[in-house]
Structures are given as C-alpha cells and as structure tokens.
Chain A
Amino acid sequence: MWIEMTLNGKPVAVEAPPDISLLDLLRDYLNLTGTKEGCAVGECGACAVIMDGRLVNSCMVLAPQAHGSEVITIEGVHGPDGGPNDLQQNFIEYGAVQCGICIPGMIMAGEALLMHNPNPSRQEIRMGLAGNLCRCTGYQQIVDAIEATAKGRQKG
C-alpha cells in the first residue's frame, strides 16, 4: 500500500506492505538508518521518533498508521549548516555518548521534552528519558547535556 507522510519537513510517498512497523519503513524502505532497533517491543526507546509533535517508539507504530502524519527522525535534527545542533553538540561536550546506539532515541526524547517543556527540572528531564535505556553512560551526562541545552535555548 502507499504511505504518504511529511518526513523531516519533506513530503514522501512510499509503497510498503501493511504489516511492517514505522521503524522498518524508515530503515528498510526509506534508507534512514539513524533510527535504531534495540528491543523492538517498546522497552528501550532506541527507535524513538517524533510523530505529530509527540515522541513515539517507531517499533510500536504500524507503518500505515503514519500515513498523513508529520514524522521527524534523527536525520531531521541538525544545525543550520547540516552539522550537529546545540543539543547534539552538548551530548558531545558533556560526554553523553559512548557506544552510541541509544543516542538517536535519546536526542529525539530530549528534543520532544524541550518542545513541550523548554525549562525542565532535572527530575523532569529524567521523566522525559524514562523510556530510553542506556547501558553505558549511567545517564548523568545525558541529563547534563539536555539541561545545558535548555539553559542555552532560554538565553536564546
């Protein structure tokens, strides 16, 4: 079936079977491999994307459910020059990235949090990341990076 959506700001139309996840649609049919598969059952958040303004696990969205939606993946998050944006730069500076597989989901969760709550407390940042598992960092640096980004964006 044909699935049409706005993907990272651009309209796309793709033909795909009706029984695959949005995660598989992104990776296998649209070659956007920045979105990672971790557990594939909604526990780890590595596949998180923003759909119609809300964070979702793309492994739990049936691909045709995204028809007519606006989807942002990690490929749609970058600075004006195409390099890292402020959140991604802070992940680097605060040492929030080790093996890296959780990071696309962490960035999407961080961006989704800051969209809805531009000035989160550390506790709110932790709740915003509650569905994202990281086995390397122990989370502190990730929370630090999101907190620094929120402060930076507040200053403008």
Chain B
Amino acid sequence: MSAFDYVRAGSIEEAVALLGDPQWVSQPLAGGTDVMVQARHGPVHFQRLVDVSRIPEMKVIARHGDEIYIGAAVTYTEIMESRLLQETATCLVEAARLVGGPAIANAGTLGGNVGNAAACADGTPPLVCLDAVAHVRNLAGQHAVPVAELITGPHQTALQRGDLITHFTFPVAPAGARSVFLKLGRRNAQAISRLSVAAAGALGGNGRITFARLAPGSALSRLRRFTEVETMLIGEEPHQALFEAAGAQASHVMELATGRRWSTEYKEIALHGLVARALRAIFLNPEN
C-alpha cells in the first residue's frame, strides 16, 4: 500500500482540475526538495502529489512591457542562467546562486520556495524586495496576491487546498537601479541562511537616492519590506555614515517586531552589518 499517489499534469488547467478534485487531498510537487524530505519523515498530510514541474507555461521567464514574469516551476539554475533576470533582478539571481549546490539548484523551484515558506528561504526576500505578486489559480478562477501577504509566517501561507501558484510578476525597477542579495550561513556553499538581505536602489541625476528597497530574510516571523529604513534613505546622498545608520535602524525595527530573543545579540549586529554592506554594494561600489 502506497502512502500517496502520483499524477503528472500537462497543463495549468489539468493541474488545477487535479488539485481541486474533492475526492483527493492533493498537493503540488515540483522540484521535490522540500516535499521529498516531508515524505521521508512522514506521515504526510496529502493523498496525492500533482507534478507541475513540466508544465510549459510554468517554465517561462519573460518581460511583458514594464513587468517581469517568472513561471512558478522555474528552477534556481534557470533563474541563474536567465540573462533577463541577470539584468532586471540581480538580487534574485544572487539568491539562486546561494541556495544550495548544483543538484538542489537544478531541482528547487521559485514557486516551491514560496509555497513551502520556510523562514530561511532564499528566494523569498528578493521577491518581496522587488514587490513581486504571486498569481494563484484554482477551480474558482485566478487571483493575485503580493508575496509579502501570501506568506503569513514560517511554513504558513494564505494558500488554500486546491490553489496553485502559476507565476510571479514584478515591476521592472527604475533605470539605473541595482539590487543585491547577501546571506550569512555557516559555510559558503549549500548552507541554510541564518540571516539574509535583499536590497535594491537607484540614484537620481543629482546624486541623491531616489529609489530604495530593503527586505531582510530570516529576521522577522513574517517577511516584509523595511519601509522604515527605505524612507530614511530617500533624498539622501549615499555615504558610509548613512548606511551605518540604516543598518542600526534595520536592527531596531527587527527588535521592535520580535522582542529581545536568545538570538538577538547575534542578529542585531549581523543585520546591521549586512544592511550597511548591501547598501554600500548598491550605491558606492558597483563592481562589488
């Protein structure tokens, strides 16, 4: 007797019909990097896995006007190899490079990273930084939810049974904008994030900051942009003291949200440093 059944979907319509079939408790399967670990540690809450990893529409990376479109079954390797994303979403490409070794990057998908919603996920801070929206399909239709609202906590999302994330979209950042992803792990490769920062920014013609985005990962129980830090950067000239103040502010925001926890002594210093380093890389040192 098998613990669960498997069915492969050839299209989004087929996947939605399979996931919405009330006779089965179904769950989407893509790269397997989370689901297979759950299945190993069992018992599992699903009766059937619906394989969405080969659905052609879910493998697309494209630009539509001022919007970038990434299919939910796109793997980290495909993100890394995409010239379009290298140019328009550097922070996401850098996160994809750091997510794990080649075998993990070849399998894991962006939709899976969001759906699994681990607090230490590397794909999610860049999506929140870029103001990405998740597009969700089910038997009732289609709706769009900002990634920052879809993920409601560690391993918690607003997804309901029968929902399928089909793709993500985000607006192309202003001309001249740069973005970075920095991560602290226990080693350089195949490490789980202890803390990460996705950040983006651009300077106006007068040399002052006109665009700033900051989304730390593994910092709060719920992922969000640190607008309290972004607003203090807008209109300022980029310099080291400003970045240090931004780092201190980011740590302050984190502590207000989480209270002082056992890990705060480490995380406040680490987040301060990561934020300052990310801003320096964006605004002062384009080669870094």
* A window 64-86: CB within 8 A of B: 64-65, 67
Interface size on A, residues (CB 8 A): 32
Instruction: Give complex CA distance A56, B104 in Å.
Output: 7
Which A residues form the contact surface with B (CB < 8 A)? 1, 17-19, 21, 40-43, 45, 48, 54-57, 59-62, 64-65, 67, 109, 112-113, 126-132
In Å, the complex CA distance between A65 and B5 comes to 12
Residue from A19, A21, A67, A112 whose CB has the most chain B CB atoms within 10 Å: A19
Q: How far is the CA of A54 from the CA of B35 in the complex (A)?
A: 20
Other 20 A-B pairs with CB < 8 A, given A19-B6, A62-B51, A109-B103: A1-B6, A18-B6, A19-B4, A42-B33, A42-B104, A55-B102, A55-B103, A56-B107, A60-B31, A61-B107, A62-B29, A65-B32, A65-B51, A65-B53, A109-B102, A113-B102, A127-B189, A130-B101, A130-B189, A131-B102
Q: Which 6 A-B pairs have the closest CB atoms?
A: A131-B101, A130-B189, A130-B101, A18-B6, A54-B106, A19-B2
Q: Which residues of B contact A41 (CB under 8 A)?
A: 36-37, 40
20 A-B residue pairings within 8 Å (CB atoms): A18-B2, A19-B4, A19-B5, A41-B36, A42-B37, A55-B106, A59-B36, A59-B40, A60-B37, A62-B36, A62-B39, A65-B6, A65-B29, A65-B51, A112-B102, A129-B101, A130-B100, A130-B101, A131-B103, A131-B189
On chain A, the residues within 8 Å of B102 by CB distance are 54-55, 109, 112-113, 127-128, 130-131
Instruction: Report chain A residues within 8 Å CB of B35.
Output: 62
Question: Which of B5, B36, B49 is within 8 Å of A42, CB to CB?
Answer: B36
* Docked-complex contact B4 and A131, CB < 8 angstroms: no
